[in-house]
Structure 1
Amino acid sequence: GIVYQISLACSISIFTSCLLFGLPWLASCQACPSGASEDCPTIGRSGNYKKFQCAPGHYNDLASLIFNTNDDAIRNLFSHSTDSEFHGSSMLIFFVTCFFLSIFSYGIVAPSGLFVPVIVTGASYGRYVGMLIGSSTSLNNGLFAVLGAASLLGGSMRVTVSVCVMLLELTNNLLLLPLVMVVLLVSKTVADGINSNVYDMLMMLKGFPYLESHAEPYMRQLTVADVATGPLLCFQGIEKVRNIVDILRNSRHNGFPVIDDPPYSESPVLFGLILRAHLIVLLKKKAFFRAPVSAGLDVFDQFSSVDFAKDASGSGDKIEDSELTDEEMEMYIDLHPFSNASPYTVVETMSLAKARILFRQVGLRHMLVIPNTCDRPPVVGILTRHDFMPEHIFDLYP
């Protein structure tokens, strides 16, 4: 609930604040460099040399990274003139802290962001690698920080061209382009062989049924009937209130086919599709009849366009909020005036890949599956985004 989400965000904020304030105690104080281009120690939010309980003329390198803004921290890590300002142990602690705090804080309800933390984390581990091999190369640690940030961005988010442009603008050094391109190529290739990018993984964990722009090759070997699982819940064109309430309370479906059976038609035929929200509005307004008769045009007089508009908050009315008497439960509702009489339909033998392309390009929420013979019910299934997800297909056909 909301209380849990707020408590989680506050708990992580308090834990992060306490952790970041306590970590600089693990780092030792260092003497201020003699040729520093700014005051040492610095006073204020910005600056490379944070005093943090050190004696006059000394600074704490870990505090200089933690108590700075992200912009200044990135600038210090990318700088080529700060090789002697940071100790290896401080850089390792800063990298591990940024890495795990980014993971913990990104998944909570508060929008904490991930792009800048990934740059800071990648720059810190890249600079740490530069410190480890510093004796065997003439390259400065700032270059390793740039390459480290590029590798983590390419490996976690799968961004390539935009990272090249961004890092070149940050460093204003066109000579870094070949190195950045090689690092991005290697990091993205290795990451693609392991898993998907962090945004796709987060959407999967959150349960968001996001459809990619292309269909997977195995979908061409399946038909829509292979993934349209049951049971299928339908309504008659003129339905009893009790049946509508029972189905809405016992299912979470958002759309229901409307079928006309004899004597309202010569044979069972698909009339259309009605949404769950519209059914709840009909129950709320109590547009009932004592007998199973067709509604006239005057049925719209008790409704306005606002009644069927989607709630901006996304909550809307719930079936549990409907209060109906036993007498009202035995009445009838004519669903014909409130149904979509022209829903998108596909034959059950259509390729799943073709149906997925149609579903995504048109922006549908429901797609009805009709049989290819006349001796069967008019609707044999209904497809939603969930039915096109690879996880659902692999569960059916492991």
Structure 2
Amino acid sequence: SVQARLEEAIERGGAAVHLPQVGHGVPRRPPHRRHRVAHQPRHREHLRPQDAPHGAARPQEKYWAGFLYFAGVNFGLTFIAAMLCVVFAPTAAGPGIPEIKAYLNGVDTPNMFGAPQLIVKIIGSICAVSSGLDLGKEGPLVHIGACLANLLSQGGSGRHRLRLRWLRYFDNDRDRRDLITCGASSGVCAAFRAPVGGVLFALEEVATWWRSALLWRTFFSTATVVVVLRGFIEVCRNGRCGLFGEGGLILFDVGDVAVRYHAGDLLPVTIVGVLGGVLGALYNHVLHKVLRVYNLINEKGRAAKLALALAVCALTSALLYVTPFAVPCTPCDPAFGGACPTLGKSGNFKRFNCPEGHYNDLATLLHATNVDATRNIFSTGTAGEFRLDSLLIFFAVYCVLGLFTFGIAVPSGLFLPIILMGSAYGRVTALVLSRFARIDHGLYAVLGAAALMSGSMRMTVSLVVIFLELTNNLLLLPITMFVLLIAKTVGDAFNPSIYEIILDLKGLPFLEAKPEPWMKDLTVGELAAAKPRAVALQVVERVSTVVEALRATRHNGFPVLDRPRPGVSELHGLVLRSHLVAALRKRWFLPERRRTEEWEAREMFSSAELADKCGGVDELEISPEEMGMYVDLHPLTNTTPYTVVETMSVAKAVVLFRSVALRHMLIMPKFQGPEISPIVGILTRQDLIAHNILGAFPHLASKRKTH
């Protein structure tokens, strides 16, 4: 663990210095200190590390030796995590939640839920979290759950897929979406030990189409996860698995604190909510700028991605090692008893390199895992434990590291870093407004964490239930709801949520539930006229024409036209690109132009072959003789595609497209006639994204500002 490396590094320097260990959970604190009244020591003499008595100081060069050892191991762990992502699975970098949202919205996200992504996500997140980087494991756990669900639904990945007969019942888009939704909710449950919060997270944040059957399926998945977790916790009691499972299913238990509301608490609680919205929006804005710069760096290749990750690791190691020296040592309060200073693996009063009987409150927060630090800062009855300057430094360090860490080529999550930043400013608010604050300072840390998460991610219902399951204090529910609503309202006034910003940066065409107001002033016919003309095929088409259409475009669907009699053309349906490739691969060619019978198509193609989307036209070798032959498309054509009239508004088209989960929408002319083409154009979700429309119709930007 990171902290074990720190202790070993300092022991090599020859000083008797005690540092906290990272990588383990923090056991429950003794009951006597959870209810103790906030107590300030009679005299707070503050000793800086260099003021320590003789025998506790170390030579200057030993500090450098300790830093190099500490940073070197972090460097190696980050190198492993980044190398895995850069070389084997680039899509495993980041949290994976925006891509899950996009997939469940109907966006095709290739190479996102396969076996390589699963393996790299597991190993990479372990190495990244162990290296001390300012990131969490919660986002990667959501992605891991989605990968497992996808692989189970398909029987594996690639050539090693199981071809069991019963798996074909799950080999369709709807069931695959349901299973990935269940996997995402299970990941949240495993991360926070919050089964109901996991269900609501899937409902509020990731799922686009929700129905009653999906509700009980996600609940069954999270219930299974929590039962398995509880079983492992029981097996690992009495230290059999280190500190795993300490505290049971409640990660940050503050349930034994009585919450009494007073009128004086309204002001500081409101300030916590407003600050959460403002800081969350500001964090999103700055992170957006940083990610744009990172995109430019990452475009330079694998070496640039790896160098960026290692540079952030070096910055993180330097800040974690140096900043605790910026605050003075604090004498232990006699009321703490033998708990101060902490000499074991975990605890709330880290001695760091302070003299006997003193502790370093900043080291208590920085030299711990994110979970341990959250337990420390959420601890109740500790109003005088953390200094104001230490909390401000901790908040600043985590803000800087959080902004620079997210976006590098390692698996990373946003939840716990944002929780720690929010809890820090929550405690700062309680200290500054101590005249008005009657609620425990640890509970203000909980409110600050919830407010900043709502201000950045814009979640409300799922977030309040997750915090309820995290803290086990039902009395906090009303005030937490109040804070979350304020933070979300304030944040929405400035910019979108962090996941929407990431979706936009990645170019994923995510359709919002509500279209832009100015879309009602534009028709789908006008939108289709601004696009290149649609490539249409005949019911019985030459092989060369099909191959040319596939090679010249990247379209996923093609309108199919029929000529029932001379001079008359009508829409027959829509054929998918994968079905055209399947027909070419099977060499289903005809020497003359004719329609085939239904039984011929059933004998030639199986449902599994038509569902397979692997391969492309460039992999096929077609002779010149075959190019002159014909292929009958009518058995492969969907003869009942969704169509709209060219006079329909884009706003209505967006609602229909999203409600029915369409991939293509055919536009028909208002008037029919022999000289009029039966198809005006075809729309996909890329055509209905707001900024794409504004690129083709700049004059609508002024209307956008007036609405």
Normalising by structure 2, report the TM-score: 0.50
Indicate which of 48, 63, 66 corresponds to 2:363. Answer: 63
Counterparts of 1:1-398 in structure 2, within 5 Å, are: 3=87, 5=90, 8=305, 12=309, 15-16=312-313, 19-20=316-317, 23-28=320-325, 29-36=329-336, 39-107=339-407, 111-132=411-432, 141-167=441-467, 170=471, 172=473, 174=475, 179-228=479-528, 229-261=531-563, 267-296=568-597, 297-311=599-613, 316-375=614-673, 376-395=676-695, 396=697, 397-398=700-701
**Amino-acid identity (%):** 44
Contact 2:575 2:636 in 1 (8 A): yes
Q: 1:135 to 1:356 in 2, by over 3 A?
A: closer
Normalising by structure 1, report the TM-score: 0.85
Which whole-Å CA distance do the structure 1 matches of 2:689 and 2:414 have between them? 26
Which whole-Å CA distance do the structure 1 matches of 2:439 and 2:459 have between them? 26
The equivalent residue for 2:141 is none
Query: Which structure carries more relative contact order (alpha carbon 8 Å, separation 6+)?
Result: 2
Contact 1:42 1:48 in 2 (8 A): yes
Contact 1:257 1:273 in 2 (8 A): yes
Contact 2:319 2:397 in 1 (8 A): no
Contact 2:547 2:617 in 1 (8 A): yes
Question: Mind listing any 5+ residue stretches in structure 1 that lack a counterpart?
Answer: none
Task: For residues 285-312 of structure 1, give each alpha carbon's deviation from its aligned partner in whole angstroms, at most 9, with x where no partner exists.
Answer: 121123333233424433222211145x
Which whole-Å CA distance do the structure 2 matches of 1:9 and 1:41 have between them? 40
Which whole-Å CA distance do the structure 2 matches of 1:284 and 1:55 have between them? 76
Which whole-Å CA distance do the structure 2 matches of 1:383 and 1:306 have between them? 28
Q: 1:369 to 1:62 in 2, by over 3 A?
A: same
Q: Quick check: 126-135 or 366-375, which moved more?
A: 126-135
Which whole-Å CA distance do the structure 2 matches of 1:15 and 1:200 have between them? 25
Amino acid at match of 2:455: G
Q: 1:157 to 1:9 in 2, by over 3 A?
A: farther
Looking at secondary structure, tell me which structure has more helix per residue.
2
The CA deviation at 1:35 is: 2.4
Task: For residues 24-79 of structure 1, give each alpha carbon's deviation from its aligned partner in whole angstroms, at most 9, with x where no partner exists.
Answer: 33213444443225533434543113344445544433332233333332222122
- Report the count of equivalent residues: 392
Q: 1:18 to 1:106 in 2, by over 3 A?
A: closer
The CA deviation at 1:154 is: 2.0
Which whole-Å CA distance do the structure 2 matches of 1:44 and 1:242 have between them? 75
Q: 1:168 to 1:271 in 2, by over 3 A?
A: closer
Amino acid at match of 1:114: L
Q: Secondary structure at the match of 2:609?
A: coil
Contact 2:320 2:367 in 1 (8 A): no
The CA deviation at 1:147 is: 3.1
Which whole-Å CA distance do the structure 1 matches of 2:317 and 2:431 have between them? 23
Which whole-Å CA distance do the structure 2 matches of 1:389 and 1:232 have between them? 19
Question: Mind listing any 5+ residue stretches in structure 2 that lack a counterpart?
Answer: 1-84, 94-301, 702-707
Q: Secondary structure at the match of 2:608?
A: coil
The CA deviation at 1:283 is: 1.4
The CA deviation at 1:218 is: 2.6
Q: Secondary structure at the match of 2:336?
A: coil
Amino acid at match of 1:215: P
Q: 1:244 to 1:221 in 2, by over 3 A?
A: same
Amino acid at match of 2:576: L
Contact 2:316 2:401 in 1 (8 A): no
Q: 1:83 to 1:266 in 2, by over 3 A?
A: same
The CA deviation at 1:249 is: 1.6
Which whole-Å CA distance do the structure 1 matches of 2:432 and 2:577 have between them? 62
Contact 2:86 2:409 in 1 (8 A): no
Contact 2:362 2:391 in 1 (8 A): yes
4+ runs of 1 displaced by more than 6 Å?
Answer: 135-139
